[in-house]
Amino acid sequence: MRALRVLLLTLLPLCSAGCAATRASAIPTSSELLPYHRGAVTVRALSDPPGARELGAVEASGEGSLDAVVEAFVEQVRGLGGNVARIDSVTPVVETRMRQVSQAMPCFGMRFQAGCSQSYLTPEEVPVVRLVGRALRVDAP
């Protein structure tokens, strides 16, 4: 248990920079249940290779680099047992999020000079990339 706690505390700062910024999901559309695919995954756009079977719908989005979003997309394809990732659309979106800002200011009206702070929320525009596509499986001949 202690080793798991040390591992989580070590990885938490690393994940706060990259892991939380990328989200992905997959929905199986086939009754075929395959194990996790550990091999290479081919990434294609808009077309299926000959003999491909559709396994599910996949979506990934994130604030980070496009490479990180594609990797999250591919990871979901692997989870469905796919060896081909077909990307149907790439959509750049700007999301507005609220960010808390703290501001230091002098306090007046006090007998001794003290420091005060004020916190408020401010809108922040964040660029996000969204990928939508399919997980496919092509069996080797």
pLDDT at 19: 45
pTM, entire model: 0.70
Identify the pLDDT of residue 8.
Answer: 33
For every one of its 141 residues, what pLDDT tens digit does the chain have, with 9 covering 90 and above? 333 333 333 333 334 344 448 999 999 999 988 999 999 999 999 889 999 999 999 999 999 789 999 999 999 999 999 999 999 999 998 889 899 998 887 776 666 666 688 888 999 999 999 999 999 999 976
pLDDT of residue 136: 97
Within a 10 A sphere around the Cβ of 58, how many other Cβ atoms?
28
Res 69: pLDDT = 96
Q: Can you list the domains of the chain with their CATH numbers?
A: 21-94+127-137 (3.30.110)
Contacts 24+ apart (CB under 8 A), 94-101: 94/125, 94/126, 94/127, 94/128, 95/125, 95/126, 95/128, 96/123, 96/124, 96/125, 96/126, 97/123, 97/124, 97/126, 98/122, 98/123, 98/124, 99/123, 99/124
